[in-house]
Amino acid sequence: MYKSVNLSNCIDLSVPHKIEIASYNYYPNGEPHPDRVLTTHDLFILLDGSWEVWQDDNMFILNKGDALFLFAGRHHYGIKNCAPNTKTIFIHFYPSDKDVLSKTAPSSGNYAVFPTIIHCSDSRLVYDYMETITSVFWSRDKFREQRLEAYSNLLFCELASAKNNILKDDLQLINDILNEIHKNPQKFFTLDELSGKYYISKRKLVYMFKEHTGVPPHTYQLNTKLDLCHNLIKYENGIKIKAVAERYGFYDEYHFSKVFKKKFGYSPSSLKR
């Protein structure tokens, strides 16, 4: 009897994860997954075929388009052969000391978090990043190491976004809303406006903002605008406080100064001086 527990891979993005090897594997007659314990993380995508792979006491069944992230130091093995003509693209990464495999994500730190198996057939970027990393790995590019580090982080971020289609859809929606907010710095959007424009309930809108930004929509807009105002006043000495307030959609100069001081602990005029 096996336990099927899809734990979270929590990968620390604050340090580079050096790549040991990146390439393709092809199994014309079908083979079980190698029985081993690696010192590296093993990430692969099933390009064709199907496979049953185990990590410790957990079994994962992969079909075409699925990605599997096997954590360093864990027992990886197979009992059954993969389907004939199975093909994979794989990358082995050296782990960071802060990478963890856990039921829950760390409460702090700069982590990309995703499960062991990721059904990412709809996420073209995961495959594109894997393919690019493999190509760069075997290249003689002058900036090879820098490119590998950059694409590895992009890959981890995309795996975190692609962990399931529902989360991916929500992430796309919240990114669309945030983009709309940032394109219109002169405007404060109400819940009614945003929920109506994007065809979602106000309750879900607030939930999504708290989930992805940590704060409700109005607070997010206010904090973003105040940060922009702070930067504007700091670097444009001749600008009037009233003009700043108008540019970023505040009711008037008095209201702007009040919320500015509440956030930063000093008035806009003090910063201007």
pLDDT tens per residue across span 184-208: 999 999 999 998 888 788 898 999 8
Using alpha carbons, select from 244, 249, 247 the residue that is nearest to residue 188: 249
pLDDT for position 139: 94
Helix (H) or strand (E) holding 194: helix 191-198
Give the domain ranges of the chain.
8-163, 164-273
Residue type, 75: H
Using alpha carbons, select from 168, 124, 128 the residue that is nearest to residue 151: 128
pLDDT for position 2: 43
Phi-psi region of 249 (alpha: psi -120 to 50; beta: other; left: phi over 0): left
DSSP β-bridge partners for residue 162: none
Compute mean pLDDT per 10 residues along the chain, 273 residues long, and list them: 66 94 95 96 95 94 93 96 96 95 81 90 86 95 95 93 61 87 92 88 90 91 94 88 92 92 92 77
CATH number of 8-163: 2.60.120.280
Q: Cβ distance 155 to 110 under 8 Å?
A: no
Query: Using the 8-state DSSP alphabet, how is residue 16 labeled?
Result: -
How many CA atoms are closer than 13 Å to the CA of 10, on its beta-carbon side? 17
* CATH 1.10.10.60 for domain 164-273: yes
pLDDT for position 166: 46
Tokens representing 138 are: 């075997």
Helices 253-264 and 217-235 pack at an angle, to 10 degrees, of 90
What's the distance, CA 239 to chain centroid? Answer: 38
Query: For the whole model, what pTM was predicted?
Result: 0.66
Query: How many CB atoms are located within 10 Å of the residue 132 CB?
Result: 17
